[in-house]
Amino acid sequence: MDRLLFGDNQFFGVNHMSEEKARAQAIQFHAVEAIIEVLDVAYAAGIRTFMCTTHERIAEVCDHVRSHPERYEGFTFYPCMPYAHKYANAVTEQGMLGALRQFMPDDGFMNAALRGGKALASKDIEGIVTLLVDAEMKMFAGLSTPVIFLQNVVVDLLLGLGFDEAFSIFSAHVRSRYNAEPGFITMNLPMLLDALDRVGEENPIVCSNINKLGFRVSGGLDAYELALTERRFRPIAMSVYASGAIPPREALEWLHSLPADPAIVFGASTAGHIRGTVQLVEQIWGEPVAALSPVTD
């Protein structure tokens, strides 16, 4: 796993500080070419991993990368699923079961349709989860996806409900079907590590807010620092700038000073911001981004 990963919130009108900024970004990235242009800047700066939601427009990015393999050597996707708003809106409109039915694959794959109907009828969560994962993974066919993430809205819902088994179902399916490692995004890191322990996930990849300000660090910064020091897992820090509330250098120097050395996922919508972050990381960590030691244990 690379040390520095590129995220996609900025492309889809997600900004935790300002709805105005989010809207401006949604306008800026209306055309997929604009997204690709930014990705190209990130690639040129040495970044090789794109951690992205399964937003339908990512399918266009996938098409582009697939059709230009020579331009994106070593480029990998870390899909983060599901794109929660798609499901949330469907649930509002059609209720829980209606939404599930809508997302069950039925496009000509008799096997999938049968599996889906049977799984739904028998409340077989394993069948439902694996089918939903397969539906979400379709757009990445033929691309490198060494890590597949479960999004925080789902992870934290399952975590709160005490539905631990869902994590191992996801994990087993991602490993066997996609030869990938499972990743988990959460807003509740210490609590999730306990749950993953309970289902026997060893050294899991967990992405969570880690920032000096303690913004959306649920359970408190102290508990997070303790987890980073004492627990065995592969951490990825997101919201390291707390949506712009912490100056970049200060944010990254604090992160570098932590006993555990987490990978970092960051989003940026301009060449200047991407290069700025890459340069800062190279200065603070003392190595080019491409050469930074990967996170392996």
Give the nearest distance from C-beta 161 to other proteins in angstroms. Answer: 5
Contacts of 48 (CB under 8 A, 6+ apart): 2, 74, 75, 76, 290
| Binding range to other proteins, per CB under 8 A, among 15-23, 71-79, 263-271, 273-281 | 15-23
Residue 43 or 190 with smaller CB distance to other proteins:
190
Give the nearest distance from C-beta 104 to other proteins in angstroms. Answer: 14
159 counts as binding other proteins under rule CB under 8 A: yes
214 counts as binding other proteins under rule CB under 8 A: yes
Task: Report yes or no: 11 and 35 within 8 Å, Cβ to Cβ.
Answer: yes
Residue 191 or 280 with smaller CB distance to other proteins:
191
213 counts as binding other proteins under rule CB under 8 A: yes
Give the nearest distance from C-beta 112 to other proteins in angstroms. Answer: 20
- Judged by CB under 8 A, the residue of 37, 93, 250, 287 near other proteins is 93
279 counts as binding other proteins under rule CB under 8 A: no
91 counts as binding other proteins under rule CB under 8 A: yes
Query: Hey, what are 209's tokens?
Result: 């807010």
- Judged by CB under 8 A, the residue of 135, 166, 193, 264 near other proteins is 166
- Judged by CB under 8 A, the residue of 30, 85, 175, 249 near other proteins is 85
The Cα 13–Cα 29 span in angstroms is 9
Identify the burial level of 276 via C-beta atoms within 10 angstroms of its C-beta, where 0-12 means exposed, 13-18 middle and 19 or more buried: middle
Residue 49 or 208 with smaller CB distance to other proteins:
208
Cα of 11 vs its chain's centroid, Å: 14
Residue 95 or 247 with smaller CB distance to other proteins:
95
- For 148-186, b where at least 16 C-beta lie within 10 A, e where not — what string? bbbbbbbbbebbeeeebebbbbbbebbeeebebbbbbbb
Task: Report yes or no: 171 and 178 within 8 Å, Cβ to Cβ.
Answer: no
92 counts as binding other proteins under rule CB under 8 A: yes
Cα of 260 vs its chain's centroid, Å: 20
210 counts as binding other proteins under rule CB under 8 A: no
187 counts as binding other proteins under rule CB under 8 A: yes
Euclidean distance between the first and the last CA atom of the chain, given in angstroms as a whole number: 10
- Judged by CB under 8 A, the residue of 50, 215, 266, 285 near other proteins is 215
Query: Hey, what are 102's tokens?
Result: 């809508």
Residue 254: what are its φ and ψ, rounded to 5°? -60, -45
Chain residues binding other proteins by CB under 8 A are: 12-20, 22, 85, 88-89, 91-98, 123, 125, 153, 156-163, 165-166, 187-188, 191, 213-220, 242-245
